[in-house]
Structure 1
Amino acid sequence: MEPDMACSMIQRLAEDGYTVGTLHSDNDATTQSRLPRSIIKKDDKTHLKKNLSKRLCGLSKNYKQLKSAKVIPYIVRCFMYAISRHQNCKQSMKAELATIVPHIFGHHEQCSPTWCTYIKDPTKFRFKHLPNGKALSGDKLKEELDKLAQSYIERADRLLNLGSTQSNESFNNSVASFAPKNRFYGGTKSLKARVSSAVMQKNEGYGWLSKVNKKSLLSPGHLTILHGIRKDRRRKQIRKTQSTTNFKRKRLTIKSKKLKDNQRETVKEGDTYGGEIEVQEHIDTETIPSKMKFEGEESVVVFDLETTGLSRKSDITQLAAFDGTTVFNEYVSPREVISPKVSELTGLTFDFSCDQMYHHGKPVESRDIQIVLLKFIDFISKKKKPNLFGHNIAAFDIPILMNKLRQHSLLSEFLLHIYGCIDTIKLARRKFKTKDIGNHKQKTLVTKLLGIEYDAHNACADVTSLFQLLEHFEYSEKDVFPFNAALLTDSYIPLIRASHITKLTARRLAHSGLCLKHLQLAFNRDSENGLKSILLEHGFNAKTVTSFTKYLTCTEE
């Protein structure tokens, strides 16, 4: 359709007495092959830049070095600088285009001191936009980029005196606002009026309608005039702002940030879209966790356990939770004897001869642990993004609950419904000093802050009182950690033993929701750049990136 329209317009111009000598357009259609040989074809600057970026993005699928957010824009800038700088001399343009690939591969013999600072001080020279400040490497990549550069060198005559079709695109957008493409106006009588309206808006501004009304001896309309004045003033202000250096710099910054964000999301999501991707043998679809962010939709669930002893391998005797409205409280039939000390604290005893549990001497109904866990999962699953709160849960309650979930093959199901966990003892230690409050036990905090007494070491009473206590604490995303943080930490044991990272770093990584497998995925998807994008998002420094890069590189070899 595009070539036919171009031919038709040129023919109509010729009939009206106008001769077209040069045509500026993109290379996406066969227009040139259908035009008379007397018409010279010149490339469009905007489409030239866009097509160059597309070709480099195509190469990035096979060459990881091009996947870094700044690499492709840097190469595009090098090409466009050489082309823009020599618009009147074909030979000088060819010569400078031929120096670009050697330059980005670290060969600066032919570089010009006007745009390459290597000549000034070779010892301090670093590439600002290439990974780690170093030149690209690889014979195959260099060969591909040489072919790319050669294709532009061969058609340097078309790159002289480049034009721009931005004004055409702008006008097309104006026409599309009056005659949208998703509706068929081609067969209606209103099409001519709609296109004419776009032409008037382009030439006369937004006050065109008032002028038409006036010429037609109609009332211009006071509100219509004011609306046109406001719109024209706004358009003039936008154009003035867009021409400033600060606006252009801000636009480049936003574009750079968007590229980085897209790169990070690509690393985190793996394979999501591609030609015939569904029929490929190996599809990498595992998602790497993002940084935890509170969006106001999270629900609070306070939970607590009572157990047969103080060991992490103890049996659960009571499991309770509270979300502010509904109380979940279940007694559990233990498989081991409740220690006398714990029984004295909780008031729970269990008679194995008659399978009966007692609370302060009164019989209570108890169930098998598997049934209680399933009921607890059902309770949690009804909440939206539930965060589990508890006092000293990281050291005691979570390890015990996790052991029981793993024993009954319910851990993976449980993790599907949990958004994160927050230990309130850490919140209390951060806000209240020991000298001011005595200690950070829950009973002490409830007495001091709420001024009430309650049945401590009763899971049901513990969760309802702790829920009230949350009003006195401050917490954020930084306080959230995964329920399976201990398992994630264990994945880093090989690195800790090899002294690549410390135990503290391993715990920080685990609390971010990252295990070693996640970092291996990031490295496999985009080598060091992928690893860097994930770790920097979670607040880790370049030293940690280097440590993991060395370890994963050795592992691959």
Structure 2
Amino acid sequence: MTLSIVSSEKLRELQPDDRCDGSSPKNKREKQLHVSLRLFSNYANEKAGLSPGHHTVKYADKTLWQRRQSQARTQLPSTKRRRLVLKQERVITQGAQVTLEGYTYESSIALNTETDIEALPDAVAPGKFSPEELPSPDSAALVTFDLETTDLIQGRRMPHITQIAAAELNSGKIFNSYVWPKAPQTIAAKAITRIIANEDGSMSVDGRMVKPDSLQTAASRFMNWKGKFHNVFLIAHNGRRFEFPVLLTTFRYIHKEQELYDIVTGCLDSIHLFKKTYPGQKSYKQKDLFHSVLQGTYEANNAIADVQALGKFVSSTNLSKSDILPFSFSPKAVLCQLNYNNEKAKNFSSLASLVDKKIQSKCMTEKIVGSGLTLYHLQAIMKRDGEDGLRNTFMLKNSQGQNGRSISIEDITICVSITAFY
């Protein structure tokens, strides 16, 4: 039996709609071949004692349709442009990696006496302060918190915590812990917080003796208390500039940042929320806002009173949680921004002369040094791969699909000319 015999016998049994009605001989032959193949498949299954192949035929038709749709999409101009973009990104990534690693994999590398095999630092990306979203915003637990410390943030030096206080808005539950600091308190901090760590190991608050916890104990207690709630969002007034950096740095120091990530879904700086809710205020300090908007007063610079007043203030806005959460951001973004700022402070001096001579703007210089590069690194890149290596390094994307160095094409062009000058 041949394929033509099967086709001739079975074609007579086809319905009129199934017959080949192609207008041209070519279309007619293609349709007849398609029907012949289908009939032969059914006949072979029947002779072999298998299923008639009805499901197989339907599945084959479906996959054929999907394949044709996919092939049609590959011919679209947008798809072709996307392929070109991806190809360019692969070229940039490969070129940047070769430039950053040096001549590590070059043939006969061990025979060279002076070989540049120093690996240059990877990009340090700034924090991405995008809102944290939940499937159900009402499931979020809003927790106001406040810290008292030994001093303000001085450059890259963080103060030590002397008090942690927090309050959950729905239940009204309060957490408080006094912490024994390992750094001395400034006179101003003692006067403002009225917390005094004495040399004999005792601690007093406003003249009243309290029992302080060690940093590890206070952190564990704080985590256990927050663990009673789900989808915790920490709210602090002006927290992005003070409370969150101090808290995240402290937890990283005691190796508890991952525990914090597991419990805290997001952070929220209430000053941005209040600026939108109450525009045009003379002062956005928490104490001044509480007085001007709520016509009330409270004991400021007392962590417990601060979190209670902040909770009352947030509740007075009558905003739903779906309106509040867009002001949130990830706690990881805080640490990323801290790393970025540390790199800026550490590396800025290498390119400071360019800013002083007004050859390069301070903003662009901060982007370069914040990404982890110094003048020495820029010169090494130029030596290895010239302008192409410098462009590839700046345009290399990080794991989040963003420009890891946060430098625009215009800045790259200027940087190329400056590095060539040096």
Same fold (TM over 0.5): yes
CA contact (8 A) 1:130 1:136 kept: no
Q: 1:30 and 1:20 mapped to 2: Cα distance?
A: 16
Q: Does 1:20 align with 2:18?
A: no
Task: Name the counterpart of 1:298.
Answer: 140
| Aligned positions of 1:475-486 closer than 5 A | 475-486=323-334
| Aligned positions of 1:210-359 closer than 5 A | 292-294=132-134, 295=136, 296-311=138-153, 313-324=158-169, 325-353=172-200, 355-359=201-205
Letter in 1 for 2:226: I
Letter in 1 for 2:313: L
Deviations 1:267-304 (A, max 9, x none): xxxxxxxxxxxxxxxxxxxxxx9973242211101100
Normalised by the size of structure 2, how large is the TM-score?
0.56
User: Shift in Å at residue 315 of structure 1?
Assistant: 1.1
Question: Which runs of 5 or more residues in structure 2 are unaligned?
Answer: 1-11, 19-34, 48-52, 88-128, 352-362, 372-393, 413-422
User: Shift in Å at residue 476 of structure 1?
Assistant: 3.9
User: Shift in Å at residue 133 of structure 1?
Assistant: 7.8
Q: 2:181 and 2:259 mapped to 1: Cα distance?
A: 23
Task: Name the counterpart of 1:432.
Answer: 278
Distance 1:34-1:482 versus aligned 2 partners, 3 A rule: closer
CA contact (8 A) 2:131 2:328 kept: no
Q: For 1:425, what is the secondary structure of its paired residue?
A: helix
Task: Name the counterpart of 2:50.
Answer: none
Q: 1:32 aligns with which of 23, 33, 43?
A: 43
Distance 1:25-1:428 versus aligned 2 partners, 3 A rule: farther
Deviations 1:110-168 (A, max 9, x none): xxxxxxxxxxxxxxxx714444386999xxxxxxxxxxxxxxxxxxxxxxxxxxxxxxx
Task: Name the counterpart of 2:311.
Answer: 467
Distance 1:21-1:394 versus aligned 2 partners, 3 A rule: same
Letter in 2 for 1:31: N
CA contact (8 A) 1:321 1:328 kept: yes
User: Shift in Å at residue 334 of structure 1?
Assistant: 1.5
Number of aligned positions between the proteins = 285
Q: 2:300 aligns with which of 435, 456, 459?
A: 456
User: Shift in Å at residue 452 of structure 1?
Assistant: 2.1
Q: 1:338 and 1:52 mapped to 2: Cα distance?
A: 75
Letter in 1 for 2:139: E
* Percent of aligned pairs sharing the same letter: 22
Q: 2:192 and 2:46 mapped to 1: Cα distance?
A: 95
CA contact (8 A) 1:127 1:135 kept: no
Deviations 1:500-529 (A, max 9, x none): 9995xx99xxxxxxxx9xx6456xxxxxxx
Task: Name the counterpart of 1:255.
Answer: none
Q: 1:373 and 1:28 mapped to 2: Cα distance?
A: 74
Q: 1:428 and 1:450 mapped to 2: Cα distance?
A: 13
CA contact (8 A) 2:164 2:303 kept: yes
| Aligned positions of 1:347-496 closer than 5 A | 347-353=194-200, 355-434=201-280, 437-473=281-317, 474=319, 475-489=323-337
| Aligned-CA RMSD value | 4.8
Q: 1:26 and 1:465 mapped to 2: Cα distance?
A: 79
Distance 1:27-1:385 versus aligned 2 partners, 3 A rule: farther
Letter in 2 for 1:487: L
Distance 1:317-1:546 versus aligned 2 partners, 3 A rule: closer
CA contact (8 A) 2:162 2:181 kept: yes
Q: 1:456 and 1:476 mapped to 2: Cα distance?
A: 24
Letter in 2 for 1:378: N
Q: 1:26 and 1:381 mapped to 2: Cα distance?
A: 65
Distance 1:426-1:136 versus aligned 2 partners, 3 A rule: closer
Q: 1:438 and 1:471 mapped to 2: Cα distance?
A: 22
User: Shift in Å at residue 365 of structure 1?
Assistant: 1.6
Distance 1:486-1:28 versus aligned 2 partners, 3 A rule: farther
Distance 1:356-1:300 versus aligned 2 partners, 3 A rule: same
Q: 1:135 and 1:360 mapped to 2: Cα distance?
A: 64
| Aligned positions of 1:29-68 closer than 5 A | 31-34=42-45, 47-48=59-60, 50-52=62-64
Deviations 1:52-95 (A, max 9, x none): 367x6xxxxxxxxxxxxxxx8441x47xxxxxxxxxxxxxxxxx
Task: Name the counterpart of 2:28.
Answer: none
CA contact (8 A) 1:333 1:367 kept: yes
Q: 2:69 and 2:340 mapped to 1: Cα distance?
A: 36
User: Shift in Å at residue 470 of structure 1?
Assistant: 0.4
CA contact (8 A) 1:402 1:411 kept: yes
Distance 1:31-1:381 versus aligned 2 partners, 3 A rule: same
Task: Name the counterpart of 1:127.
Answer: 77
Question: Which runs of 5 or more residues in structure 1 are unaligned?
Answer: 1-18, 57-71, 79-102, 105-125, 138-288, 508-515, 523-530, 551-557
Letter in 2 for 1:292: E
Distance 1:26-1:457 versus aligned 2 partners, 3 A rule: farther
| Aligned positions of 1:80-95 closer than 5 A | none
Report 1 or 2 for greater relative contact order, CA contacts < 8 Å, sequence distance ≥ 6: 2
Distance 1:344-1:26 versus aligned 2 partners, 3 A rule: farther
Q: For 1:446, what is the secondary structure of its paired residue?
A: helix
CA contact (8 A) 1:318 1:331 kept: yes
Letter in 1 for 2:44: S
Distance 1:53-1:366 versus aligned 2 partners, 3 A rule: farther
Letter in 2 for 1:399: P
Q: 1:424 and 1:457 mapped to 2: Cα distance?
A: 17
Q: For 1:383, what is the secondary structure of its paired residue?
A: coil
Deviations 1:352-396 (A, max 9, x none): 21x111111111121111100011111112211000001011111
| Aligned positions of 1:517-556 closer than 5 A | 520-521=398-399, 531=401
Normalised by the size of structure 1, how large is the TM-score?
0.43
Q: 2:79 and 2:235 mapped to 1: Cα distance?
A: 45
User: Shift in Å at residue 484 of structure 1?
Assistant: 2.6
Letter in 1 for 2:77: F
CA contact (8 A) 1:26 1:43 kept: no
Q: 2:215 and 2:175 mapped to 1: Cα distance?
A: 15
